[in-house]
Amino acid sequence: MNRYKNYALNLFKDLISKNTQSDDTSLTYPSTTSQLSFGKYLKKLCEEIGLTSVTQDEYGYVTAVLKGGDPNSMKIGLIAHMDTSPDYSGENISPKIHENYDGKEILLKNDIILSPKEFPSLAKYKGNTIITADGTTLLGADDKAGICAILTAMKYFSDNPTLSHKQIKIAFTPDEEIGKGVERFSIEKFNCDYAYTIDGGEIGELNYETFNAARAVITINGKNVHPGSAKDIMKNAVLIAMEINSMLPPDEIPGKTAEREGFYHLTSIKGNVEKTILNYIIRSFDKEEFENRKTNIKSIIDSINKKYGKTAMLELYDEYYNMYDILKDVPEPIELAKKAMKEAGIEPKIISVRGGTDGSHLSFKNLPCPNIFAGGHNFHGPYEYLPLESMLKSAEVIVNICKAEK
C-alpha cells in the first residue's frame, strides 16, 4: 500500500478540513447539519472511486457497494463514523506533517508539547510520518482515519479490477461520539453476515470487548432565599450536588482506573443555588458490576431525597453493552481479522476497549461487529496524532479481509 501514501495523506487532510462535530444537546438526527454536508461529500468520493449503489438516506447514513463481489462469498460490512467529538474543537483544523519523525518532542501552538516522555507510544514511530493538529484543535483521526483507510482500500480494488473479492458493503455513520451512531441504521438493508468498524487506535489493535455503558443526569432543585435570612430555609443545589459527588467512591474515576477497571465519570456540572445539573457516565466491563454501579447511584439519590425532601431527580439510561457477550459465540469475523493482520505483517493486539463503538450496538442488533485499528492516538484533544504508515496498514488489513478466499 506504500504507493498510496500520497493519496491517503491528501485524502486525510481533505477529510479533516471539514468540521463534523456532533452535538449531544441537539434534538435532530443527525445532530448537526455539517454531518449531512460531509455525507454528501463522501457520497461523491465513493462514486469517483467507482463504488456502486451509493446512497445517503434521510438520517445521513452513506452506504455503498464494492462492485464485482463473488456472489457465493460472505457479505462483509466496513463501517466508520463521520463525526468528531463535541468536547473539543474540530473547526479549522490545521494539520502539521512531521516527516521522518526523529523521536523527540513535537512543539505545537500555545506551548503544547507532544512528548514521548508523557506519551511513550510516540517512541514506536521514529522514522514514520506523524500527523498532528496545531495544538488548538483535535486532529480528527477519530474517525476520519477510519474513513480514509476504507476509501484507500476501495481505491486499491478499483485500480486492480481483476482482483477477486468478497461481497463488500460500506457505511459511514453520524453521531457515534454521542452514542447514537447506528440508532436508525437498517441492518436489514445493509444485509451483511458481519461487519467491522474501522475505529480503533494504534496499529494492530483488534477489539471485541467494550464497556457496558450508562448515563446518569441528576437534577437538583434547591431553594434560594436571601443569605442573610437563610437559616433552616435555604437548600443550596450546588452544595447538594457536591455532596452527591462525595458519596461516590473517590478512586473509581477515569483518572485513577485502567485496563478492566470501571468508573463513574462526572462529565459536567452546571447550575446555581436554585438548580444544578450533574452529568455522569457509568462504565464497567462486567455486567453484574455495571448493574451494581447503577444501583449505587439510585441509592445515593434516594438518601439525598430522604435527607432534604424531594430535591434530586435522576434520569438513568443505558447507552450500550459489552460486545463480547455476543462475539464470544461468533469467532469467524475475529479469526478473519487476525489472519488479515498477520498477512500484513502485523501481530494482532487483543485489547478491551475502555469505551464503545458503533459495533457495540450493531452486535446486539444481530450484526456481529468487532473493531479494527485505524492508527490514531490521544483522541479528543490537542495531543492527538496519527502515524500515516499505521493508517496505510489499516487499509492493507481491510484489503486482506476483502480478498476472496483462496
Q: What is the pLDDT of residues 342-393, one digit of tens each?
A: 999 999 999 998 988 899 999 999 999 999 999 999 999 999 999 999 999 9
Strand 52-56 to 62-66 pairing = antiparallel
Same domain, residue pair 140 and 258: no
C-alpha dist (Å) from residue 258 to 55, 199, 263, 284, 380: 41, 20, 9, 11, 18
Contact 337, 348 (CB under 8 A): yes
Looking at residue 48, its pLDDT comes to 97
Q: Which of 320, 343, 363 is the last residue of a domain?
A: 320
Is the pLDDT assigned to residue 164 strictly greater than 90?
yes
Contact 147, 15 (CB under 8 A): yes
Residue that wins the pLDDT comparison between 356 and 156: 156
Is the pLDDT assigned to residue 222 strictly greater than 70?
yes
Q: What's the pLDDT tens digit per position in 37-90?
A: 999 999 999 999 999 999 999 999 999 999 999 899 999 999 999 999 998 999
Same domain, residue pair 231 and 241: yes
Q: What is the CATH number of the domain that holds 122?
A: 3.40.630.10
Provide the pLDDT confidence category of residue 406 given band limits of 50, 70 and 90: low
Which residues have a catalytic role annotated? 83, 176
Same domain, residue pair 46 and 186: yes
**Rounded Cα gap, residues 292 and 290, in angstroms:** 5
Residues 6 or more apart from 355 whose CB is under 8 A from it? 210, 211
Contact 279, 266 (CB under 8 A): yes
Same domain, residue pair 271 and 370: no
C-alpha dist (Å) from residue 133 to 55, 95, 130, 137: 31, 4, 10, 6
**Rounded Cα gap, residues 383 and 381, in angstroms:** 6
Domain that holds residue 251: 212-320
Same domain, residue pair 281 and 160: no
Looking at residue 405, its pLDDT comes to 79
Q: What is the CATH number of the domain that holds 271?
A: 3.30.70.360
Same domain, residue pair 308 and 327: no
| Residue 67 main-chain phi, psi, to 5 deg | -65, 155
> What is the count of structural domains for the chain?
2
Same domain, residue pair 25 and 78: yes
Q: Which of 297, 320, 343 is the last residue of a domain?
A: 320
Residues 6 or more apart from 75 whose CB is under 8 A from it? 69, 166, 167, 168, 169, 191, 192, 193
For the sheet containing 52-56, what is the strand order? 52-56, 62-66, 167-173, 75-81, 194-200, 371-373, 205-207, 349-350
**Rounded Cα gap, residues 150 and 279, in angstroms:** 35
